[in-house]
Chains A and B, each alone.
Chain A
Amino acid sequence: MSPPLHIPASKLCESCRATRALISRPKTNQKLCKTCFLSTFEAEVHATIVSTTLFTRGSRVAIGASGGKDSTVLASVLKTLNERYDYGVEFVLLSIDEGIKGYRDDSLETVKRNAVQYGMELVIVSYEELYGWSMDSVVESIGKKGNCTYCGVFRRQALDRGAERLGINHVVTGHNADDIAETVLMNLLRGDLPRLHRCTSIITSSTSSPIARSKPLKYAYEKEIVLYALHKKLDYFSTECIYSPEAFRGSARTLIKALEKVRPSAILDIVRSGEAFSRMIPSQAQASSAKLSQESGMSNCTRCGYLTSQELCKACTLLDCLNKNRPKMAVEVEAGIEDEEASSSLRRGMEAMKLAEEGIVN
């Protein structure tokens, strides 16, 4: 195919060679036109889904939707691929209302619009209804410090409960390659072998949760997600949570971004290394000590019925603290948190290390 004469060959899309290149792919520096960029991005997510046989025909899968760029792009891409490749999957949007005024109420409006745009059912589960506490009231009670611990524990359980309510046992989340690379480095820095073992798995089914979680965007760069949202003109909400301001971007995140500048493939290369690590951890080191104690077996929380290795689940333990207003408990509960949410758990990790370093906690 000979290129149109008015576009110099050097300016042509490296894929179709027919249109002017508009985008330099952050992952590869490949120069692509808009159409080719979008289709390449989609093809990569599709390749990830197919090579891991992530979905089964006829199943219902919940998309953990926050209204932010990652989950919005995830929902949009999954809708596109489901139609294009006939996955035969019914996707449902599942949102958590943490009860944060000026943040979640606005982003939920975005999710509601997305539900209409993508023709997906939407279910919203609120902390308020589940726990009797909104994050606003948690922060009012304990202050901003450590509130992410509560939020992380509550969210994990809320997603499970929302999925249960929908009769769904698979939740997909918008974690991207940057998140996973960051988690790999953080787990190396913390020396957390159990988490290092599982943080790169595309799908995690944990004994502490009846619901499987998966990350179809695990090879997608954050920068490309932003570009995808931009060029697809997706409707998303871009404000950071007001209780976890930009400052939480820990040093590992900064390092990832610097590495990406030096060698764009570095993020994928770290994910690749992380996948190797997960196969290099001796089986006895794969489970956390919290999980080992579960040899006595997981049971149901005596109060709420959620799966737990203790008598009370983590959420109920935290609720006890809140209700008695003894926030100090949070630190002890922290150690066993199974939450994989990159940002909040990593930040807690750094906080914990800092505390340990300063001799405040052991």
Chain B
Amino acid sequence: MAEQNGNQNGDGPTPPPICKRCNTNPSVINLRSEHMCGTCFDKYTRSKCIKRTETYRVRYNPPDTDTTPRRLLLPLSFGISSITLLHLLNAQLQTQLERTSRTGFVLLVMYVDESAIDPSVPTGDTSIRAVQARFPDVGEYMVAKLEGIYEFSHAVKSFEMGAAATPQQHTDWEGRLKELIAALPTPSSRMDVLQILRTRLMVELARKHACEAVLWGDTTTRLAEKTLAETAKGRGFSIPWQTADGESPFGVKFLYPLRDLLKKEVAVYVSLDLPTPLRPLCFAVPQEGEGEEGEGGRKKYAAVGKGITIDELMTQYFEGIEGQYPSIVANVVRTAGKLVTEGGVVRIGRCKICGLPRDGGGGELVLDAETKLGESSNREANGNGHGEKKEGSDMCYGCARSVHGAKTYEWPL
């Protein structure tokens, strides 16, 4: 956090410059070349979030017919972003209560316990209690287990790669999840599929608990990372569905209220005295460490096995870009925001894995160059006796890539 004091000239001992907004307090951050004090930066941050959640102001009757507060799901990872988002929404609720004695929304704060795939991860009970103690009035708090995704297998659609082996019919969800993750070929695939499982679990939980929207904690930086990472995974077609505010193809709204804040700004924000810093609540980030982690420790959990993943690579890339060229980060997100999905949601079938409307299908261009380009007939020769040629036909291109070469597995949804 070299920029915490906003002192870009590196002249350490000189006092920090004065805030350009109030002209009174010392600056704590050089915000896109404007010095700001803690109070002004707090105001700035709050306004950015309010602007993006305007739909959830208090409703009146008339003109609104239904004035009950809307239920919103907030996935909490204990990273700096989701904790900041929770704090900002809490502040918004306080303001609504003070002004109208009513609120426009109520939160369901949800932590996903991933200890099934990484035993070193805390189950979240104590952490969530600490957060609840700080923000007791926002709504409900819950912990869901990642393997809970199996609760939502609509009908029984066990899905197998290759007909040779039948997966053992685990009754325990934890074992099935472990088996699924272990079947994936690379760290990139595992991280990718885990991210998909988290998203789909949140969607299912939002539906189950009658939430009309999921409020994701992604910052501008995180959205830019996601845009490039999904591009690199061949999922360019789905970027609007993964980064845009509004109706998602899952029938639940997605909102990214921190989309106008850079990750490095949020990193400064959690250390502000507001009056108490948020930082101690960010349990997924090493305390007092290099806590650059945006959506909470995700990469740590997901990097099972060795080797950097595509998502991690993008995180690193944008750490560099964010420091030198913050406007490029915003550029990427703005560009992604201008893309429109082809033919909308109803065009073709859904991808079995990510649940999004499929693009042309996995094998169309090059599932691997053997499939379409160049040689096409060395399947048998590859030793996998069971006909793989259908691989990917019910998936989008990106998911087909991610599970290409996976061992037999069972998909939960």
Contact = CB atoms under 8 A, between A and B. Distances in A.
Contacts of B370: 28, 30
Contacts of A270: 231-232, 234, 236
Contact of B342 (A189, A192, A255, A276): A276
Interface stretch (B5-13, B114-122, B281-289, B302-310): B302-310
A255 B314 CA distance: 8
Most buried by A among B235, B340, B378: B378
A47 B378 contact: no
Interface string B288-323: 000000000000000000011110010001001100
B365 to A, nearest CB: 6
Contacts of A282: 338, 340
A161 B341 CA distance: 39
B399 to A, nearest CB: 12
Is the contact region of chain B dominated by helix, strand, or loop, or is it mixed?
A: helix
Nearest to B314: A255
Given A272-B234, A281-B338, A188 B374 contact: no
Contacts of A48: 373
A277 interface: yes
A43 B373 CA distance: 7
B207 to A, nearest CB: 28
B317 A280 contact: no
B401 interface: yes
A192 B309 CA distance: 27
Contacts, number: 145
B374 A44 contact: yes
B331 interface: yes
Contact of B313 (A14, A17, A258, A274): A258
Interface residues of A, number: 51
Given A44-B373, A269-B398, A272-B365, A280 B228 contact: no
A274 B236 contact: yes
A268 B366 contact: yes
Most buried by B among A27, A44, A191, A274: A191
Nearest to B402: A263
A285 B313 contact: no
Contacts of A15: 375, 378, 381
A276 B313 contact: no
Contact of A262 (B188, B227, B336, B398): B188
B101 to A, nearest CB: 44
B327 interface: yes
Given A43-B373, A273-B231, A280-B240, A262 B341 contact: no
A185 interface: yes
A279 interface: yes
B345 to A, nearest CB: 14
A259 B310 contact: yes
A191 B224 CA distance: 12
B218 interface: no
A50 B321 CA distance: 40
A17 B381 CA distance: 8
A6 B378 CA distance: 22
A196 interface: yes
B286 to A, nearest CB: 24
Contacts of B325: 353-354, 357
A31 B170 CA distance: 37
Interface string B376-388: 0010011000000
A251 B401 CA distance: 25
B237 interface: yes
Nearest to A48: B373
Could you say which interface size class chain B belongs to? 35 or more
B310 A273 contact: no
Interface in A239-268: 251, 255, 258-259, 262-263, 265-266, 268
B92 interface: no
A187 B334 CA distance: 12
Contact of A273 (B234, B240, B328, B369): B234
A104 to B, nearest CB: 34
B61 interface: no
Given A14-B382, A269-B233, A357-B327, A47 B373 contact: yes
B183 to A, nearest CB: 17
B79 to A, nearest CB: 23
A185 B228 contact: yes
A193 interface: yes
Nearest to B366: A268
Nearest to B405: A29
A356 interface: yes
Interface in B337-366: 338-342, 359, 365-366
A219 B331 contact: no
Interface in A197-215: none
Nearest to B367: A265
A30 B342 CA distance: 34
A12 to B, nearest CB: 9
A34 interface: no
Contacts of B252: none
A188 B188 contact: no
Contacts of B308: 262
Interface of B: 186, 188, 227-228, 230-237, 240, 307-310, 313, 317, 320-321, 324-325, 327-328, 331-332, 334-336, 338-342, 359, 365-366, 368-370, 372-375, 378, 381-382, 397-398, 401
24 contacts: A14-B378, A17-B381, A44-B374, A47-B372, A185-B231, A188-B227, A188-B332, A190-B328, A190-B331, A219-B373, A259-B310, A262-B309, A263-B310, A266-B310, A272-B234, A273-B233, A273-B234, A273-B237, A277-B236, A280-B340, A281-B339, A281-B340, A285-B338, A357-B325
Given A47-B372, A219-B366, 15 more contacts: A14-B381, A17-B381, A188-B231, A191-B332, A191-B335, A196-B335, A263-B310, A265-B234, A265-B366, A268-B365, A269-B401, A276-B237, A276-B342, A285-B338, A357-B328
Closest 6 A-B residue pairs measured CB to CB?
Answer: A273-B236, A269-B234, A276-B237, A191-B331, A44-B374, A44-B373
